Amino acid sequence: MAWRELMVAVPIEDEGMVLEGVWQSGSGRGAVVAPPHPLYGGSLENPVVNEIAYALYQMGCPSLRFNWRGVGASQGVATLDPGVAERDCLAAIQHVVATVGAPVTAGGYSFGAAIALRLALRDDRLSDLVLVAPPIEMIRSLDIERFEGPIRVLAGMHDDFAPADQLSELFSCLPNVRVDVIPQADHFFAQGGLPELSSALQALR
């Protein structure tokens, strides 16, 4: 199936607003890809977010990436509150479940990765995780042992927000986790590392 993106409206039904989303078709398990923080340039057009979606496409997975409220064409006002972001991401998960059913893969980059992990600990529709550079301070206190599915973690060697050694230590209590380090990358992949990230993500197949 050719890479073919479709713009979709993602409703947050209990709040009467919609988020902007991009749907990529596939025949496998559905997935949601959450972008970085809405107040720091996080959007569905972020190159890392696109790489995650493309890797899922290579696996045949339909995916939805979305803009947080207040970003792009999404309604509402952007906020620092992670609880609001969780509601946005839950709306995206519900859209995927309504479209292709459960279970769902939850993926994300930076802030979006942390939100995906937080939701996975209480939403049994989420079966596995793809987390790129989850900020350690956002996930350090989480009871990650409660998640029983596979987790793939990717982080840059020079990432001060998501240090690979600290992530490896945090997730070492779980048998179903793989942590990959991208040698050239910092948290923003500003100094390189995007091709290596792409190769690592496509190795998910």
What is the CATH number for 126? 3.40.50.1820
What is this structure's pTM? 0.96
**Rounded Cα–Cα distance for residues 66 and 68 (Å):** 7
Could you read off the pLDDT tens digit of each residue along the chain, which spans 205 residues? 677 899 999 999 899 999 999 999 998 899 999 999 999 989 999 999 999 999 999 889 999 999 999 999 999 999 999 999 999 999 999 999 999 999 999 999 999 999 999 999 999 999 999 999 999 999 999 999 999 999 999 999 999 999 999 999 999 999 999 999 999 899 999 989 999 998 998 887 6
Number of domains in the chain: 1
- Residue 107: give the domain boundaries: 5-202
Phi, psi (deg, nearest 5) at residue 121:
-75, -10
**Rounded Cα–Cα distance for residues 63 and 166 (Å):** 29
**Rounded Cα–Cα distance for residues 73 and 66 (Å):** 10
